């Protein structure tokens, strides 16, 4: 039996009471079919199975109570009238407050009437109260309990209330009870997990004795059973894309003769770390195959990803192909351009540069060079994937800080290959370490390499958090560091994303610092400066002609000044952990002990205090990424443009990490041996939603 046999795939308009208007509103919740309703899972539960003694109530509870009306009265006047009703059950009393009065309400609440009320308990001027509770008048010996099961509370939207959702989901569950195929392969669920039907019944209508805390935390066996199937479906969706790419397209075979790569390694003033060599070998093996490479290279700040990228680019050039390197910002792209030129031009490899800010004449020249056989490597921003860009023979696309690009942008660069049948290999780099659990879910269509070793000579960075009231001490510390021959950064941040406001803040700060520290040579970099101006200031700083660089977060990635040993970050409480870690990575690149000062505005919120605490405790990028995932969730950590509709209904990659290894193994087997079962799982949980890596 498949899903279609059960009626689960039919539109919601096939259910009683669902017209076009309600269907449109349900679509805002991602509900279009009967199956979507079944998989629309509760956020929390209300206990309406038994009344609670009024005397035991605490503020913040959502409870059912039963009591006798002692007094009902209208209070206030004009447009602020409200109805107050006092009830008691012998253990205590409670005030019911109604701000919206409707005909007959006062009469229903006459003295002596027995009521069952459900609502949120809050403190009030005369003790505990409930504002606009749901009420039911009890007649005779009628029980106050409204339900024999816990009542689910679902994600809702305008025009779709809880009553409507519960009614429709109960209708949908009738189709499930008529026969819902259990698609999990034998042995994957293991002991202790229920079948699919039992899991859905438990999640939608748990019994009063159910462990409600485990249900809401997602650790109950019923939740785990659903999470397991959802993780498998998402894994299948992403890996299916990878299998299709391997079957349907080929890539140029790039073996090369190692001539250029050996020359580059010999010219470097340092030796590759074992981790760099390992990852370079993995990439080299991938490039030598006819199937497209899809590899994510992770490395903490300063781990040497750029050299590995240069070696990969040279492997393409050795085979008469081009390599393109795409960076998300002008500054980072310029840094890559200068770095690649210094390494590759002595090897007689031409490096071209393309950005959206090039003058028209220079842009035309660059486009001609890129389209010619002479240009080996092209560096640029998002300008690289514009329609007018034509490569001669693009064999390798390298995307830096992938999470900053949208999915369509990454794939647009891939489509710059020679023809529809041949696509470039893809190498994706990130200096934002991604927890293993997240990499196994969000990047299931990619092979993952990790440069988990820092080059020798890198010193740990000591991080301290200091309130803004001690700014004078911080400036004295900057003066002391610079007097000893070191250099320092002073980073300005604002809540607003406006470059104009960021620039203004930096300009104000540099004026104050120049006045307070007149002996220091102080420069300024911000996002509204012209590229040539930024490049000139950065060059002065890198070559030691400036002592102190005041900057906005444009220096987050790509800047390498080994002599800089001190960084001050203003208002760090406004930034996320990953961005703070990236900024801190600009220091500690030389042999001198380095420090990062987090100059915060007191008082700190609990969340900001926790983030700064993580930065002070560790410099391990992967531990910071794990904490960032716990604080912000996968959508924010990866970037919303990247994740698109990458959302889970019930699974949580971090919480359910122990399920992932089994899921990955089963996913590969299903795609190879039972593709129809894989398709059914994907349809059930993923549907038509666009996934990462898929267009």
Count of alpha carbons within 13 angstroms of residue 292, beta-carbon side? 30
> In Å, how far are 275, 482, 533, 593 from 490, measured between CA atoms?
32, 13, 18, 18
Look over the chain and give the mean of its residue pLDDT values, rounded to a whole number: 85
Hey, what domains does the chain have and what are their CATH numbers? 3-45+152-217 (no CATH), 50-146 (2.40.50.140), 259-451 (3.40.50.300), 461-618 (3.40.50.300)
More confident residue, 348 or 630: 348
The whole-angstrom separation of Cα 379 and Cα 118 is: 63
Instruction: State residue 484's pLDDT score.
Output: 94
Across-strand partners of 151? 46
Give the percent of the chain with pLDDT over 90.
48
Q: Is residue 252's pLDDT more than 70?
A: yes
Q: Which whole number is the average pLDDT over 240-255?
A: 79
Question: Please, are residues 575 and 595 in contact by the beta-carbon 8 Å criterion?
Answer: no
Instruction: State residue 405's pLDDT score.
Output: 52
Q: Is residue 255's pLDDT more than 90?
A: yes
Interval 577-607: pLDDT, tens: 878 888 898 888 877 889 999 999 889 888 8
Interval 477-497: pLDDT, tens: 999 999 999 999 999 886 444
Q: Is residue 498's pLDDT more than 80?
A: no
Interval 156-169: pLDDT, tens: 999 999 989 999 99
Instruction: State residue 694's pLDDT score.
Output: 38
Give the global pTM.
0.68
Question: Please, are residues 40 and 76 in contact by the beta-carbon 8 Å criterion?
Answer: no
More confident residue, 210 or 555: 210
Cβ atoms < 10 Å from Cβ of 694: 16
Q: Which whole number is the average pLDDT over 643-671?
A: 79
What are the DSSP calls for 555-620, one per residue?
GSSS---TTEEEEEEESGGGS-HHHHHHHHTTS--SSS-EEEEEEEPSSPPHHHHHHHHHHHH---
Confidence tier at 330 by pLDDT (50, 70, 90)? confident
Distance of CA 587 to the CA centre of its chain: 26
């Amino acid at each position: 039996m498949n899903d279609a046999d059960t009626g689960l795939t039919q539109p919601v308009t096939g259910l009683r009471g669902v017209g076009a208007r309600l269907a449109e509103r349900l679509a805002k919740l991602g509900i279009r079919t009967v199956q979507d309703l079944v998989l629309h899972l509760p956020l929390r539960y209300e206990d309406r199975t038994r009344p609670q003694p009024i005397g035991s109530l605490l503020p913040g509870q959502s409870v059912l109570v039963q009591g006798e009306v002692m007094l009902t009265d209208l209070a206030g006047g004009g447009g602020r009238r409200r109805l107050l009703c006092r009830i008691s059950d012998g253990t205590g009393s409670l005030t019911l407050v109604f701000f919206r009065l409707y005909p007959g309400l006062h009469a229903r609440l006459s003295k002596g009437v027995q009521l069952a009320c459900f609502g949120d308990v809050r403190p009030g001027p005369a003790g505990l109260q409930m504002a606009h509770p749901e009420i039911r008048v009890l007649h005779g010996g009628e029980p106050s309990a409204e339900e024999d099961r816990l009542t689910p509370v679902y994600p809702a939207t305008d025009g779709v209330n809880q009553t409507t959702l519960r009614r429709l989901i109960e209708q949908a569950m009738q189709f499930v009870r008529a026969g819902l195929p259990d698609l999990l392969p034998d042995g994957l669920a293991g002991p202790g997990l229920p079948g699919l039907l039992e899991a859905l019944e438990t999640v939608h209508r748990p019994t009063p004795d159910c462990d409600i805390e485990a249900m809401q935390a997602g650790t109950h066996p019923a939740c785990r059973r659903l999470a397991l199937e959802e993780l498998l479906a998402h894994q299948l969706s992403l890996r299916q894309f990878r299998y299709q790419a391997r079957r349907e397209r080929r890539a140029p075979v790039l073996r090369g003769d190692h001539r250029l790569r050996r020359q580059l390694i010999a010219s470097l003033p340092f030796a590759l770390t074992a981790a760099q060599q390992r990852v370079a070998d993995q990439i080299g093996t991938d490039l030598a195959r006819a199937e497209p490479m899809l590899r994510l290279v992770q490395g903490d700040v300063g781990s040497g990803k750029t050299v590995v990228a240069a070696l990969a680019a040279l492997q393409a050039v050795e085979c008469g192909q081009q390599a393109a390197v795409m960076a998300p910002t002008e500054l980072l792209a310029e840094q890559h351009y200068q770095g690649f030129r210094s390494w590759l031009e002595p090897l007689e490899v031409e490096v071209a540069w393309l950005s959206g800010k090039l003058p028209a004449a220079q842009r035309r020249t660059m486009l001609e060079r890129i389209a010619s056989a002479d240009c080996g490597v092209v560096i640029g921003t998002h300008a690289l994937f514009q329609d007018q860009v034509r490569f001669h023979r693009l064999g390798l696309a390298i995307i830096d800080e992938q999470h900053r690009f949208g999915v369509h942008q990454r794939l647009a660069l891939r489509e710059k290959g020679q023809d529809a049948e041949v696509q470039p290999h893809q190498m994706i780099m990130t200096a934002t370490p991604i927890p293993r659990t997240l990499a196994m879910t969000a990047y299931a269509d990619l092979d993952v390499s990790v440069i988990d070793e820092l080059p020798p000579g890198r010193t740990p960075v000591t991080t301290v958090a200091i309130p803004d009231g001690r700014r004078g001490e911080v400036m004295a510390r900057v003066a002391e560091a610079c007097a000893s021959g070191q250099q320092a950064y002073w980073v300005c941040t604002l809540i607003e994303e406006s470059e104009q406001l960021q620039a203004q803040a930096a300009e104000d700060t540099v004026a104050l610092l120049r006045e307070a520290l007149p002996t220091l040579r102080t420069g300024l970099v911000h996002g509204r400066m012209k590229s040539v101006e930024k490049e000139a200031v950065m060059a002065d700083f890198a070559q030691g002609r400036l002592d102190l660089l005041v900057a906005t977060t444009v220096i987050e990635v790509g800047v390498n000044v080994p002599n800089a040993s001190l960084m001050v970050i203003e208002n760090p409480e406004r930034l996320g952990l990953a961005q703070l870690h990236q900024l801190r990575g600009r220091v500690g690149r030389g042999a001198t002990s380095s420090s990062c000062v987090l100059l915060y505005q007191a008082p700190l919120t609990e969340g900001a205090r926790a983030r700064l605490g993580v930065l002070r405790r560790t410099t391990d990028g992967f531990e910071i990424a794990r904490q960032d995932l716990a604080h912000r969730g996968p959508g924010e950590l990866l970037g919303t443009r990247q994740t698109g509709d990458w959302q889970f209904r019930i699974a949580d990659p971090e919480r359910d990490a122990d399920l992932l290894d089994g899921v990955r193994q089963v996913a590969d087997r299903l795609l190879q041996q039972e593709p129809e079962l894989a398709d059914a799982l994907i349809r059930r949980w993923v549907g038509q939603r666009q996934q990462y890596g898929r267009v």
